[in-house]
Amino acid sequence: MSGKILLILSRCSACSWLDKNSFKDLVSQIRLDKRIGKIIETDKICDSKGKKKLKSSASGGCDRAIIASWCSQESLGKIPLPKGIDPSLVEFVDLSLLSPKGPKERSSPELLAGAVRESAARLALSRPVKDRRIRYSSKFVAVIGSSDAAIRAARALAQHGIPTRLIISQKASKPKDGNIELIDEATINGLTGIPGNFRLSYRRRGEELETDCAAILLVGERCMADVRPPTNPRVRFVPLERLEDFATSGLRVKGIAFLDDLGSLASVSDVSVPLWHLLLESAKSTAVAGYAENVTVIARDVKAAGLLELSWKEAAEAGVKFVRYDDKTRPRIDKSEPIILVKDLVLGETIGIPADVVVAPVTTRPWEPAFVERLFVPGDWDLRVRSRGPQRGLGQSPCDGVFVVGYAGFAKLTDQSYPELGATVSEIVAFMRRGYHIARGAIAEIDEDKCSACNTCVRTCPYRAARMNDNWKAEIVAEKCAGCGSCVAVCPSRAIELKNCTREQIESQVIATQEAIS
Amino acid sequence: MTAKLNIVAFVCENHALSALRAASASGESLPESFHLVKLPCTGRLETTQILDALRAGADGVAVIGCLEENCYHDVGSMLARGRVERVKEILKDIRIEPDRVEMFNIASVSSSILLLRMRKFEQKIGSLPATPFKGAMR
Tell me what pLDDT residue A271 has. Answer: 46
Q: Report the chain A residue with the minimal C-alpha distance to residue B35.
A: A513
B33 pLDDT more than 50:
yes
Using DSSP's 3-state secondary structure scheme, residue A212 falls into strand
Q: What is the mean pLDDT of residues A120-131?
A: 87
Residue A286: partners with Cβ closer than 8 Å, 6 or more residues away: A243, A247, A256, A292, A295, A320
| Preferred mutation among B46, B52, B59, B109 to probe A, highest tally of A CBs within 10 A | B46
Min distance A427 CA to chain B CA atoms (Å): 19
Q: Which residue has the higher pLDDT, B130 or A235?
A: B130
pLDDT digits (tens, 9 = 90+) for B123-134: 999 999 988 888
Closest Cβ opposite residue B56 in set A111, A501, A511: A511
Using DSSP's 3-state secondary structure scheme, residue A401 falls into coil
Which residues from B are below 8 Å from A465, CB to CB? none
B29 touches chain A (CB under 8 A): yes
ipTM of the complex: 0.93
Closest Cβ opposite residue B20 in set A97, A100, A484: A97
Mean pLDDT of chain B: 88
Tell me what pLDDT residue A266 has. Answer: 39
Share of chain A above pLDDT 90, in %: 8
Asked if A197 contacts A214 with a C-beta cutoff of 8 angstroms, the reply is yes
Residue A396 DSSP code: B
Cβ contact (<8 Å) for A377 and B8?
Answer: no
Which residues from B are below 8 Å from A514, CB to CB? 6, 56-58, 137
Residue B123: partners with Cβ closer than 8 Å, 6 or more residues away: none
Residue A181: partners with Cβ closer than 8 Å, 6 or more residues away: A140, A163, A164, A165, A166
Which residues from B are below 8 Å from A510, CB to CB? 8, 37, 49, 52-53, 56, 58
Element (H, E) at A268: none
Using DSSP's 3-state secondary structure scheme, residue A151 falls into helix
Asked if A184 contacts A168 with a C-beta cutoff of 8 angstroms, the reply is yes
pLDDT classification of A13: cutoffs 50, 70, 90: low
Which residues from B are below 8 Å from A489, CB to CB? 43-46, 79, 83
| Phi, psi dihedrals of residue A305, rounded to the nearest 5° | -70, -25
Element (H, E) at A133: strand A132-135
Cβ contact (<8 Å) for B29 and A96?
Answer: yes
- Residues of chain B numbered 76-115 and touching chain A (CB < 8 Å): 76, 79, 83
What is the widest separation between alpha-carbon atoms in chain B? 45
Q: CA-to-CA distance for A440 and A499, rounded, in angstroms?
A: 11
**How far separated are the first and last CA of chain A, in Å rounded?**
31
Asked if B62 contacts B123 with a C-beta cutoff of 8 angstroms, the reply is no
Model pTM above 0.95 = no
pLDDT digits (tens, 9 = 90+) for A273-320: 556 677 788 888 888 888 888 898 887 655 555 567 788 888 889 989
C-alpha neighbours within 13 Å on the C-beta side of residue A418: 6
B126 touches chain A (CB under 8 A): no
Min distance B38 CA to chain A CA atoms (Å): 9
Asked if A134 contacts A210 with a C-beta cutoff of 8 angstroms, the reply is no
| Phi, psi dihedrals of residue A378, rounded to the nearest 5° | -75, 175
A265 touches chain B (CB under 8 A): no
Q: Where are the beta strands (DSSP E) in chain B?
A: 7-12, 34-39, 60-65, 101-105
Q: What is the mean pLDDT of residues A176-184?
A: 84
Q: CA-to-CA distance for B120 and B40, rounded, in angstroms?
A: 25
Residue A379 DSSP code: G
Surface-to-core class of residue B130, CB atoms within 10 Å of its CB (0-12 exposed, 13-18 middle, 19+ buried): exposed
Which residues from A are below 8 Å from B49, CB to CB? 503, 506-507, 510
Name beta bridge partners: A259.
Answer: A298
Q: CA-to-CA distance for A160 and A58, rounded, in angstroms?
A: 46
Render A13-34 in DSSP notation, one character per residue.
Answer: TTT----HHHHHHHHHHHHT-T
Closest Cβ opposite residue A506 in set B24, B49, B75: B49
Using only the alpha carbons of chain A, give its radius of gyration. Answer: 29
Q: Which amino acid makes up residue B131? A: T
Render A218-274 in DSSP notation, one character per residue.
Answer: EE-TT-GGGSPPPS-TTSEEEEGGGHHHHHHTT--EEEEEEES-SS--S-GGGS-HH
Q: Please tell me which of A68-77, A133-142, A379-388, B22-31 the model is most confident about, judged by mean pLDDT.
A: A133-142
A100 touches chain B (CB under 8 A): yes
A510 touches chain B (CB under 8 A): yes
pLDDT digits (tens, 9 = 90+) for A483-503: 888 899 999 999 999 988 899
